Amino acid sequence: MRSTIEKALQKQREAQALKKQQSVSTPPDSAVAKPQTERAPVAPVRVSETEPFDIDFQRLTENGLVTMDGGRTAINEEYREIKRKLIKNAFGPLSKTLNNSNIIMVTSARPSEGKTFTAVNLALSIASEQDKTVLLVDADVLKPNVLNTFGLEGRKGIVEYLTGEVDDIADVLYPTNADKLKIIPAGKSHHSTTELLASRKMHNTVDEFANRYPDRIVIIDTPPLIGINETAILANFAGQAVVVVEEGKSKLSDIRHSVDRLSSNMAIGFVVNKSIVSDPEGAGYYGYYYAEDQD
């Protein structure tokens, strides 16, 4: 009997020892180190720098620019008249004969004749349209002034995009607190702006501007025409040109030379700036616009 019990106890001890050994060598599932599977790299989140520009409309009013309230001020009425012809050229029958009819360059013969003032006012006026949107591009990369006219801080712009410092044009296309107005600043100065503006990248970008949105008008503020290579390059992209001339200052020979630098296939109009003419009610008159129809 004793021998049988001892044998049973010995067998039990051996079984317990084996079980203990197994529990040490084989930890429970929760403690087992499972093979690591390689995780796919997580793509970095693209941080957009397109924080909206907050335009101070009261400041614009105080500085004599177009207002967005639809008021019948002299400046509002003058630019309503100007933009009607531009919009008609952009989307009417003439548009079929123009390349990029909805892209309008605003320029002048010489500096300081009011082209940026005109470009900003046109953009503001078109932004008040019910069924149009407007993109204002500061392409005067030599002396940018669009943001300064609005009273806005400098940001990256078209130059940073063309040099590759910014990968996506959307990162320099800034919305504003005017729902239908977006702005692309010029960006920083660069020694190769002529080559950058003449690049295929710029050409493709302008094509996208012209064709992506059927209701969009693009206003491009360019450098003056005389003596600036960049302006002649930009003229190849636009279907319309508005040439700003200063009354009493612009020479007729300069105006003729400016027109010679534009494509004969463009619709070309003129705005006379700094012209004071009294109407019967005594209101100041900014200027006038006309377009030469092309055959």
Could you give the CA distance from residue 55 to residue 150 in angstroms, rounded to a whole number?
A: 7
Q: Which CATH number is 73's domain given?
A: 3.40.50.300
Q: How many CB atoms lie within 10 A of CB 268?
A: 18
Contact 124, 233 (CB under 8 A): no
pLDDT the model gives residue 250:
84
132 domain residue, yes or no: yes
Based on the number of CB atoms within 10 Å of its own CB, is 158 exposed (0-12), middle (13-18) or buried (19 or more)? buried
Task: Report pLDDT for 32.
Answer: 39
When divided into structural domains, the chain yields a total of: 1
pLDDT tens digits along 144-158: 999 999 999 999 999
Does the structure show a pLDDT above 80 at 44?
Answer: no
More confident residue, 35 or 246: 246
Cα gap 70→291, rounded to integer Å: 25
Contact between 67 and 207 under an 8 Å Cβ cutoff? The reply is: no
- Residue 27 forms part of a structural domain: no
Does residue 65 fall inside a structural domain?
yes
Range of the domain at 135: 57-292
Is residue 35 assigned to a domain? no
Give the chain's length.
Answer: 295
Helix ranges (DSSP H) in 92-228: 115-127, 146-150, 158-163, 193-197, 200-211
pLDDT per residue as tens digits for the range 194-226: 999 999 999 999 999 999 899 999 999 999 999
Does 146 reside within a domain? yes
Please give the single-letter amino acid code of residue 154.
Answer: G
**In whole angstroms, what is the distance from residue 195 CA to residue 35 CA?**
55
Lowest mean pLDDT among 29-33, 66-70, 82-86, 236-240: 29-33
42 in any annotated domain: no
Domain contains 2: no
Rounded Cα distance between 291 and 282, Å, is: 27
Point out the least confidently predicted range of 40-49, 166-175, 186-195. Answer: 40-49
Output 57 or 1, whichever has higher pLDDT.
57
> 144, 105, 137, 120: which is closest to 55 by C-alpha?
120
* Residues 112, 117, 122, 123, Cα dihedral to 10°: 120
More reliable by pLDDT, 20 or 271: 271
Element (H, E) at 284: none
For the chain, what percent of residues have pLDDT higher than 70? 76
> Average model confidence (pLDDT) for the chain?
82
| Greater pLDDT, 289 or 276 | 276
Alpha helices, DSSP H, located in 63-157: 74-91, 115-127, 146-150
Determine the pLDDT at residue 275.
63
**Three state DSSP letters for 168-186:** CHHHHCEEECCCCEEEECC
CA distances to 66, 107, 120, 185, 267 from 188, in Å: 28, 20, 20, 9, 31
Q: What is the pLDDT of residue 294?
A: 37
Percent of the chain with pLDDT over 90: 67
**Residue 72 exposure: Cα atoms within 13 Å on the Cβ side:** 0
